Amino acid sequence: MSEIALKPLSPLEAIEYFRDKIVLTPAQFYQLKRQAMVNAFTAAEITSLDVLNDIFEELAKALESGATMKDFREAINERMESRGWVGLTPFRADTIFRQNTQTAYQVGRWKQMTDPAVMTDRPYGVYSAVMDKDTRDTHRAVHGECRRLDDPFWDTWYPPNGFRCRCSVRTLSQRQVDKQKVKVSTGSWQRLIEPPGKPARQLIPDPGFDYNPGKEAYQPDLSKYTKRLRDAYEKRQREKAKA
């Protein structure tokens, strides 16, 4: 009997989303409206498009191959140093790697979860934080919140909800909701958080992360794009259509 070799599947939706990004300098990137940023790529304080393209390519390769942050840092530093640049520090490399790969995975995951066929069987999403000592108070407070995936809640509270956010969303079927007696919430989301020893404050995502990158990536409003980004995006779509 022949052996069957099991290999991890590539996150195709995440790779497609990331490969479709347009590389911009930080100055160009921050001229965009927030909704357009999800379809562009940059790295803070790096103004050379050559280096930004190198970082982008190494991140794309990491997504495609399943490489670790250490693999990414070694590869990008070799490329940067060959151009006479100082390589990325471990913290900087980790931040760039984690934020971009996490966003790509979550965008791909949103596309999978909201496929009409999938939603027929598993229409509920549950917010899941890591719940360790590094989990932010706000993210901890949302842990376990269950809503239908078409609930407006996910327009604001879909991860990542901050830099280096590790939160995710898992889906449930109606049978699982009933069997586990999960409370499904509806209505507007307005809640205060009162961390021990700290003043109460409104429960909101980290600044700049109060939107759903999955929705923005696959249903972009091109009126919010600059002409350069709009032209590049439309060109990319025409090329994909011909492929």
86 shares its domain with 173:
no
74 shares its domain with 159:
no
- The per-residue DSSP string of 145-186 comes to -EEETTSTHHHHS-S--STT---EEEEE-HHHHHHHTPPPP-
Q: Is the four-CA dihedral 230, 231, 236, 238 of positive or negative sign?
A: positive
20-46 pLDDT per residue, tens: 898 999 988 888 887 788 889 999 889
44-93 pLDDT per residue, tens: 889 899 999 999 999 999 999 999 999 999 999 999 999 888 999 999 99
180 shares its domain with 125:
yes
Domain membership of residue 4 (yes or no) is no
Question: What pTM did the predictor assign?
Answer: 0.82
Domain membership of residue 130 (yes or no) is yes
Domain membership of residue 18 (yes or no) is yes
230 shares its domain with 197:
no
Domain membership of residue 150 (yes or no) is yes
Domain membership of residue 171 (yes or no) is yes
148 shares its domain with 67:
no
Domain membership of residue 61 (yes or no) is yes
Question: pLDDT > 90: what percent of the chain?
Answer: 59
223 shares its domain with 201:
no
Q: Which residue has the tokens 């190198």?
A: 54
Taking the C-alpha atoms of 51, 56, 62 and 64 in order, what is their torsion angle to the nearest 10 degrees? -140
Burial class (CB in 10 A: 0-12, 13-18, 19+), 143: middle
Residue 215 pLDDT exceeds 50: yes
225 shares its domain with 207:
no
74 shares its domain with 17:
yes
Domain membership of residue 1 (yes or no) is no
Q: Which range marks the domain in which residue 80 is found?
A: 10-113+218-243
143 shares its domain with 53:
no
140 shares its domain with 193:
yes
137 shares its domain with 108:
no
42 shares its domain with 101:
yes
